[in-house]
Amino acid sequence: MTTADLLGKILQVVGGVAIFVAVIGLLLFLVDRAPKRGRDYIQLVAFVSPALILLTIGLIYPAIRTTTLAFFSRTGAWTGFDNFIWAFTQPDAVRTLINTVIWVILVPLLSTAIGLAYAVFIDKSRGERFFKALVFMPMAISFVGAGIIWRFVYDFKSQGRDQIGLLNAIVVAFGGEPVQWLQSAPLNTFLLIVVMVWIQTGFAMVVLSAAIKGIPTEQLEAAQLDGTNAWQRFFNVTVPGIRGSLVVVVTTISIATLKVFDIVRTMTAGNFDTSVVANEMYTQAFRANEPGRGSALAVILFLLVLPIVIYNVRVLRQQREVR
C-alpha cells in the first residue's frame, strides 16, 4: 500500500467519524427545545464544521471537478458538449446507455416482485426464519464475489470437455451443445441481470416482510368478513399498507442498479455488448485515458439518479403530511 493510499484511508476514517459526530450533535441540538443562546450556536458550528469541511473536500469539490472535466478533452482543450454528444451518438456508448436502462427497468421490478411474493407466501409459515435467511444470504456476498460465483455457473468449455459450468452441464446432460453464455449478446446482459436480482431479492424480501407484519390484523379481518378473497385482500389492503416500503425498496434498488459496476467488471469487463454507464465511466477515464468522456458519463449517471431521489423524497414527504 502506497503512502497516498494509506493517507486516503485515514482521511476516509476521519471523515466518517467527523460526519457521524456532526450528525449526532445536530440531532441533539434540534431535539433540545430549550431556548438557544449564542454559545449554543457556536457549539453547533464547532460540531458541524469538521464534517462540512471534509464533505467539501471529499464530495463537493470532486463533484465540481468532475463536472468541469466533462467539458474538456484529454489534452485540456475546451470541447463544450462534445463528450456528451459522444455519449449519445457513438454506437458503443449508446449500447451502454440502453443496457443501463434495461438494468434499471428489470432489476427493481423483478427483485421487488419476487421479494414481495416470497414475503407474502412465507409470512407466518413454519420455518419462516430459515427460509428468510436462505434468501437473504446473497446480500452478505460482495458483488465481486457474486460475479465470480456466477461466472462458474455460466462457464463454457468446448465440446467434448468436462463442463464445470452448471448451466452448460445441464445443457450437455440433455444432449445439447455447450453455449458461450457470457459472449452471446444480448442474452449475456440478461444473465448478468440475474446476478443482481439474486442479490437484491433478499433486501426486498426483508423490508417488505417487516412492512407486511406492520399492517393491523383488524384491517385484514374486516376485509375477510366483507367476503373478499386472498387476492382482493392483497391488492386492496396489503399493497396500500406497504406502499411506503415499496417505494423505498424500488428506489433503493434502482439507485444501486444505476451504479452497478462490480458484477459487469468481474464477469465480462464490459465486453460483448454488456457494458453499463458505471463500467464505461471507469473504462474511459482509467483505461482509454479519456477523463473527459468518463466525467461526462459520471454526470449522466448523476442526472439519472437525481429524479429517483427526488421522487423518493416527495413520496416520503407526502406520507409525513398525511400522518
User: CB burial class (10 A; 0-12, 13-18, 19+) of residue 254?
Assistant: buried
Mean pLDDT within 284-298:
89
CA distances from 141 to 108, 199, 245 (A): 19, 8, 24
Rounded Cα distance between 299 and 293, Å, is 10
Same domain, 274 and 175: yes
pLDDT at res. 30: 56
Give residue 13's domain range: 1-69
Let me know if residue 84 belongs to a domain: yes
The answer to whether residue 74 is domain-embedded is: no
Residue 45 shares a structural domain with residue 127: no
- Kindly state the percentage of the chain with pLDDT values over 70: 85
Residue 176 and residue 272 share a domain: yes
Dihedral, CA of residue 174, residue 179, residue 112 and residue 265, to nearest 10 = 150
Does 2 reside within a domain? yes
pLDDT tens digit string along 144-165?
999 999 999 999 988 878 888 8
pLDDT at 35: 53
CB 46 within 8 A of CB 263: no
Grid coordinates belonging to 78? 475546451
The total domain count for the chain is 2
Does the pTM of the predicted model rise above 0.75?
A: yes
For 155-211, write each residue's pLDDT tens digit.
998 887 888 889 999 999 898 899 999 998 899 999 999 999 999 999 999 999 989
Place of cell 451502454: 96
Q: What is the mean pLDDT of the chain?
A: 84
Question: Is the omega angle on the peptide bond into residue 50 within 30 degrees of 0, that is, cis?
Answer: no
Residue 179 domain-assigned (yes or no): yes
Residue 300: pLDDT above 60?
Answer: yes
Q: Is residue 283 part of a domain?
A: yes
pLDDT at 124 over 80: no
User: Do both 191 and 291 map to the same domain?
Assistant: yes
**Which residue among 40, 69, 98 closes a domain?**
69
Q: Is residue 12 part of a domain?
A: yes
Same domain as 311, residue 205: yes
Shared domain check, 34 and 155: no
Residue 29 pLDDT > 60, yes or no? no
Q: Is the pLDDT of residue 266 over 90?
A: yes
Using CA atoms, how far apart are residues 295 and 304, in angstroms rounded to an integer?
Answer: 14
Q: Encode pLDDT of 98-115 as tens digits.
A: 999 999 999 999 999 999
pLDDT grade for 96, boundaries at 50, 70 and 90: very high
pLDDT at 317 over 80: no
pLDDT value at residue 36: 55
Q: Which of 16, 39, 69 is the last residue of a domain?
A: 69
pLDDT given for residue 216 in this prediction: 85
Using CA atoms, how far apart are residues 267 and 261, in angstroms rounded to an integer? Answer: 10
How far apart are alpha carbons 322 and 62 in whole angstroms? 38
- Residues 295, 184, single domain; the answer is yes
Q: Answer yes or no: are the C-beta atoms of 293 and 83 closer than 8 Å.
A: yes
Instruction: From 69, 99, 115, give the residue that closes a domain.
Output: 69
